[in-house]
């Protein structure tokens, strides 16, 4: 008994000393510990929507998405194999349609969607099917013939027909489309396949984020129409947005950004300011995630300052977003904006409070003779944004080398901000705010 108790105490002591050693080491090295966070990308997803077997062919429809760009470029493929043979076809993100031909009859095959995420090829989805004589058909290719930026798009549609038992008198393809906001497909058209052809052209599909439904149909010997295959696909995603010059001064430029898009694409704008071949600055703007569309109001614009006067610049605007159809991160150049900052100038402004109004006097020395008018703009303060309620301009009087103007601005009965500035009547975004009067009492 004593021996057993002694051994138990020794075991407890050994565990305690081991724990003490671990905690001591932890305390001694706490300040030197660096925690490495490993971010594991979201796994790509593949779904075999449909697979059809014929006597010596297997057709498929597969959808693949990759929201974190985890797939190594060029590694995505479709593999069809049996015990003795293996066939490979490359695949892309989004909808893939195709066919494996010249196969063995009455043979079981496994179709696999495979990709490499950095650890070798792995299976994303698979399906087992056996070739057999049958009547039917499949849409095997959807090929965009026109550039994806054209206003209208033309598609070439390939199909495969198996009429093993001579059941069909003719074959046709019908198609319709709908906008994302619509519930039903509409505007259906039908094109017949003549003299055994297996390819047709679908013309004039509006390039406006359209969802298209394709149906491969057979008219039987009894004049019934049966659907052999059906596929839904989208026209290339079009991002609608713009960055444009809002204000140019002698030492700064501000831009407004507008975008209208699906709520799940998470757009981000990158603006690169260039002087010739030299990058001056780079800024990023991300629209509020709560809004399907956003518009930058005055006072919340993207601003580049500390620029040189009388200097030519341009801004390259890039957009990064998640393609809603294949979940891939896309980066495209949206547009490019050129501008020249204005020459330096000197001014003096006086604001006299007259009780129910303000008298404003501006004296301007403008060597480039660019600013030909003074202005005031009254903004009403609102919880969401400030909006203009009154705006007026006045032509300068030229006195020798200086320009001058005096005008009166009435006070408002509500909370407001009055911007006083100078501008060019021919260039709406070339203006400068010289002073601001705030009326917070109303």
Q: In this model, does residue 252 exceed pLDDT 70?
A: yes
Across-strand partners of 54? Answer: none
Distances (CA, A) of 100 to 60, 115, 122, 427: 9, 19, 21, 62
Residue 380's region, left for phi above 0, alpha for psi from -120 to 50, else beta, is: beta
For position 8, what pLDDT does the model report? 47
Average pLDDT value over all residues in the chain: 85
pLDDT score, position 21 = 46
* CB-based contacts of 92, cutoff 8 Å, min separation 6: 64, 76
CB 87 within 8 A of CB 81: yes
Average pLDDT estimate for 411-428:
91
Q: How confident is the model at residue 42 (pLDDT cuts 50, 70, 90)?
A: low
Q: Please say if the pLDDT value at position 75 is more than 90.
A: yes
Query: Could you tell me what percent of the chain has a pLDDT over 90?
Result: 61
CB-side neighbour CA atoms (13 Å) of 416: 18
Phi first, then psi: what are they for 368, rounded to 5°? -80, -5
Q: In Å, how far from its chain's centre is CA 8?
A: 66
State whether the Cα torsion 383-248-268-237 is positive or negative.
Answer: positive
Give one DSSP letter per residue of 270-299, joined into a string. EEEEEETTEEEEEEEE---TT-SEEE--TT
pLDDT exceeds cutoff 90 at 37: no
- CATH number corresponding to 240-340: 2.60.40.10
| C-alpha distances out from residue 221 to 25, 207, 216, 238, 426, Å | 85, 38, 17, 43, 73
Show Cβ contacts of residue 349 under 8 Å, excluding neighbours closer than 6 positions: 360, 361, 362, 363, 420, 434, 435
User: Which residue is listed with tokens 């050994």?
Assistant: 14
User: What's 83's DSSP letter?
Assistant: S
Cα–Cα distance, 345 to 367 (Å, whole number) = 7
pLDDT of 218 strictly over 90:
yes
Out of 30-44, 53-67, 114-128, least confident range: 30-44
Distance CA 142, CA 235 (A): 11
* Cα distances (Å, whole numbers) of residue 175 to 39, 133, 235: 43, 28, 13
pLDDT, position 386: 77
Q: How many CB atoms lie within 10 A of CB 149?
A: 9
Lowest-confidence segment of 26-40, 72-86, 236-250, 356-370 by average pLDDT: 26-40
**pLDDT above 90: residue 405:** yes
Name, in order, each residue with C-beta under 8 angstroms of 144's C-beta and a sequence gap of 6 or more.
Answer: 153, 154, 155, 236
Query: Is 240-340's fold the same as 346-439's?
Result: yes
Lowest mean pLDDT, pick from 3-17, 172-186, 346-360: 3-17
* pLDDT score of 30: 36
pLDDT value of residue 282:
95
Q: How confident is the model at residue 334 (pLDDT cuts 50, 70, 90)?
A: confident
pLDDT tens, 133-151?
999 999 999 999 999 889 9
Residue 5 has pLDDT above 70, yes or no: no
Domains in the chain: boundaries: 45-234, 240-340, 346-439
pLDDT bin (cut points 50, 70, 90) of residue 328 is confident
Length of the chain as a residue count = 442
Give the domain 346-439 fold.
Immunoglobulin-like (2.60.40)
Q: Is the pLDDT of residue 373 over 60?
A: yes
| Average pLDDT score over residue span 20-39 | 40
Q: Tell which CATH classification among 2.60.40.420, 3.10.20.600, 2.60.40.10, 2.20.25.240 matches the domain 45-234.
A: 2.60.40.10
Question: Of 221-230, 258-267, 417-426, which gets the smallest average pLDDT?
Answer: 258-267
Q: Which residues contact 333 (CB under 8 A, 6 or more apart)?
A: 316, 317, 318
Of 61, 162, 149, residue with least CA distance to 103:
162
Residues 66-86 have a mean pLDDT of: 91
- At 176 the pLDDT is 93
Question: Taking 60 as the threshold, does the pLDDT of residue 204 lie above it?
Answer: yes
- pLDDT at 375 exceeding the cut of 90: yes
């Amino acid at each position: 008994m004593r021996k057993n108790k002694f051994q138990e105490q020794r075991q407890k002591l050994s565990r305690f000393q081991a724990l003490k050693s671990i905690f001591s080491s932890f305390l001694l090295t706490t300040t030197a510990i660096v925690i490495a966070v490993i971010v594991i990308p979201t796994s790509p997803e593949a779904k075999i929507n449909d697979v059809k077997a014929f006597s010596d062919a297997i057709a498929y429809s597969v959808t693949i998405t990759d929201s974190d760009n985890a797939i190594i470029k060029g590694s995505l493929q479709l593999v069809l194999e049996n015990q003795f043979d293996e066939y490979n076809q490359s695949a892309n993100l989004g909808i893939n349609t195709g066919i494996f031909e010249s196969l063995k009859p009455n043979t079981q095959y496994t179709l696999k969607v495979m990709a490499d995420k950095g650890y070798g090829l792995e299976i994303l989805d698979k399906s087992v099917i056996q070739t057999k004589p049958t009547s039917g058909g499949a849409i095997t290719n959807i090929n965009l013939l026109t550039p994806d930026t054209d206003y209208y798009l033309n598609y070439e549609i390939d199909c495969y027909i198996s009429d093993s038992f001579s059941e069909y008198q003719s074959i046709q393809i019908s198609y319709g489309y709908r906008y994302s906001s619509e519930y039903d497909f509409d505007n259906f058209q039908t094109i017949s396949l003549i003299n055994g052809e297996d390819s047709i052209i679908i013309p004039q599909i509006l390039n406006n984020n359209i969802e298209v439904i394709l149906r491969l149909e057979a008219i039987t010997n009894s004049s019934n129409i049966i659907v052999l295959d059906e596929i839904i696909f989208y026209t290339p995603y079009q991002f609608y947005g713009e960055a444009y010059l809002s204000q140019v001064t002698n030492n700064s430029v501000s831009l407004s950004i507008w975008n209208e898009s699906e709520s799940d694409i998470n757009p981000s704008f990158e603006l690169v300011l260039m002087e010739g071949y030299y990058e001056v600055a780079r800024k990023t703007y991300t629209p509020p995630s709560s809004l399907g569309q956003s518009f930058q109001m005055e006072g919340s614009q993207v601003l580049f300052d500390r620029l040189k006067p009388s200097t030519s610049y341009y801004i390259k605007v890039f957009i990064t977003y998640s393609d809603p159809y294949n979940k891939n991160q896309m980066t495209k150049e949206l547009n490019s904006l050129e501008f020249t900052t204005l020459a330096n100038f000197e001014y003096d402004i006086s604001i006299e409070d007259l009780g129910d109004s303000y008298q404003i006097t501006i004296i301007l020395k403008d060597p480039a003779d660019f600013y030909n008018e003074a202005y005031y703009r009254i903004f009403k303060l609102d919880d969401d944004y400030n909006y203009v309620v009154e705006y007026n301009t006045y032509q300068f009087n030229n006195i020798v080398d200086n320009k001058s103007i005096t005008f009166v601005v009435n006070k408002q009965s509500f909370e407001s901000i009055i911007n006083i500035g100078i501008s060019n009547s021919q260039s709406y975004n070339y203006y400068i705010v010289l002073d601001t009067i705030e009326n917070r009492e109303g």
